[in-house]
């Protein structure tokens, strides 16, 4: 989900040590019964005929099969997709969980953050009627994801949106995610990567986040970093655009100004981080 930036006043100073890169095809390691991801089932969901052709065209930039396999997603899981926005990943996660008897929650600000999913449920109940809707962050305005119910929580290009609301809001979001997960459950994060050497103040307005910032928020909530993948990296991204990440596809906020340059760069350079809620 890409929203327009809201300026925040606080900066995040916390840092975290570097971790070795993990194979994007690896399973959860010591994640116990949750096990490694069945890529065949994920690939079948990516190929679902209910997907929007315009979204399918972006698979080459977003690597959904490899990304979900890296996070260890399984068809029988209870999966929480946070802030689904236009539903790019929902189009994949809905048939995936439907195929294996799993459960999919779409969780977002109540109710506007779920408007697209609601419309889909009305128009295509066979495909999306089983998706459960919840409020996130939970304020009491709508139903919440039950504590300790989720096998996997996924968030794609959203942590920067929480960061625009300030460090306290971001910390609260990670705390609520931690509460949703079962012991041993996985949090999968994909977001626009700000190089560590660049000014942290850019996190407040550019749409990019430092890896160290996200790791610090997650670890403060109790998570352990279990692995990371470069499957969504883009070395052509220079991370330094006047109008932030929205200069790049698919937003192309500059419209026809330097359009060919931004299209040639492609979608943003993204980190792909896998966190685990400790089993005890």
Q: What does the pLDDT look like over 224-237, one tens digit per residue?
A: 999 999 999 999 99
Which tokens go with 23?
A: 């194979």
Which contiguous run of DSSP H or E holds residue 97?
helix 90-100
- Say what the pLDDT of residue 259 is: 97
In a domain, 252, yes or no: yes
Decide which of 120 and 37 is more confident: 120
- Measured CA to CA, the distance from residue 52 to residue 91 in angstroms comes to 8
- Measured CA to CA, the distance from residue 228 to residue 191 in angstroms comes to 12
Dihedral sign (CA 216, 218, 222, 225): negative
- Say what the pLDDT of residue 19 is: 33
- Number of compact structural domains in the chain: 1
In a domain, 7, yes or no: no
In a domain, 173, yes or no: yes
In a domain, 20, yes or no: no
Which tokens go with 241?
A: 């655009």
Mean pLDDT of the chain: 89
Query: Residue written as tokens 């809001």?
Result: 169
**Which domain CATH number covers 165?**
3.40.50.150
Range of the domain at 133: 32-276
- Say what the pLDDT of residue 39 is: 86
Which tokens go with 68?
A: 């979900």
**Residue 178 pLDDT more than 80?**
yes
Give mean pLDDT, residues 245-270. Answer: 97
In a domain, 106, yes or no: yes
**Residue 22 pLDDT more than 80?**
no
By three-state DSSP, how is residue 59 classified? Answer: helix
Give mean pLDDT, residues 30-38. Answer: 43
**Residue 10 pLDDT more than 70?**
no
- Say what the pLDDT of residue 280 is: 77
CA distances from 251 to 19, 254, 257, 262 (A): 31, 9, 13, 10
């Amino acid at each position: 989900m890409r929203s327009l930036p809201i300026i925040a006043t606080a900066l995040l100073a916390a840092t975290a040590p570097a971790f070795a890169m993990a194979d994007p095809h690896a399973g959860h390691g010591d994640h116990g019964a949750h096990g490694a991801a069945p890529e065949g089932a994920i690939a079948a969901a990516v190929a679902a005929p209910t997907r929007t052709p315009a979204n399918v065209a972006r698979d080459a930039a977003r690597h959904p099969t490899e990304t979900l396999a890296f996070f260890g997603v399984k068809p029988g899981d209870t999966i929480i997709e946070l802030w689904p926005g236009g539903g790019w990943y929902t189009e994949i996660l809905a048939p995936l969980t439907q195929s294996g008897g799993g459960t999919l929650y779409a969780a977002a600000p109540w109710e506007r953050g779920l408007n697209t999913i609601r419309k889909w449920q009305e128009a295509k109940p066979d495909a999306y009627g089983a998706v459960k809707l919840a409020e996130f962050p939970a304020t009491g305005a709508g139903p919440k994801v039950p504590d300790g119910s989720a096998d996997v929580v996924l968030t794609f290009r959203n942590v920067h949106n929480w960061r625009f609301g300030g460090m306290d809001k971001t910390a609260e979001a990670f705390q609520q995610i931690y509460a949703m997960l079962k012991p041993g459950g996985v949090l999968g994060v994909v977001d626009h990567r700000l190089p560590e050497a660049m000014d942290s103040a850019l996190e407040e307005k550019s749409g990019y986040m430092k890896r160290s910032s996200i790791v610090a928020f997650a670890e403060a909530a109790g998570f352990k970093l279990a692995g990371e993948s470069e499957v969504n990296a883009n070395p052509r991204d220079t991370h330094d655009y006047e109008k932030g990440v929205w200069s790049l596809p698919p937003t192309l906020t500059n419209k026809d100004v330097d359009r060919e340059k931004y299209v040639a760069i492609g979608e943003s350079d993204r980190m792909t981080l896998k966190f685990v809620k400790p089993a005890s």
